[in-house]
Amino acid sequence: MQSPETAEEMLRLAAQAAIDKGGEDLVALNVSEPLPLVDIFLLVTGNSERNVAAIADEIEDRLIESGHKRVRREGRAEARWVLLDFGDLIVHVFHQEERVYYGLERLWKDCPVVPIDVAEPAADPS
C-alpha cells in the first residue's frame, strides 16, 4: 500500500482532471478503515455517457502520466459507471441516474469525507 500522502496527491490529480472535463458533485471518502487495501473513493458525476467516458479517460491519462499504475478499469464501454482502480485511490465516474440509483454515499456514509483542493476549470478563451 502507498502512503496516505500519495493517495491524497492522486486524489488532487484525479479531481482536477474530472473538473477540467466537466465533472460535477465530486465527493471523496476515506474508506481506509473498512477497506484496508484502499484509502480513498472519489465519486464524480458526468451529464452524459460521452461526458462520463471523457472524464474517466482524462483521469486515467493524468494519473498514468504522473507515474501511477492502473490496476483495473471497468464500465468504459457503456460509460454509465466507470470504475478506475489505482490501488489506494478508486475513482467512480457515474452518469447522473446511476449515481442516484447506486447511492454509494449512502453505503459509505460512516466514512469521513476527504477535502478536495483543486482549482476551478480554466475559462475557455474563445
What global pTM score does this model have? 0.89
pLDDT digits (tens, 9 = 90+) for 60-71: 999 999 999 999
Was domain 4-114 assigned CATH 3.90.1300.10? no
In a 10 Å sphere around its CB, with 0-12 CB exposed, 13-18 middle and 19+ buried, how is residue 110 labelled? exposed
Q: pLDDT for 46-102, tens place per residue?
A: 999 999 999 999 999 999 999 999 999 999 999 999 999 999 999 999 999 999 999
* Buried/exposed code over 40-79 (b: 16+ C-beta within 10 A; e: otherwise): bbbbbbbeeeebbbbbbbbbbebbeeeebeeeeeebeeeb
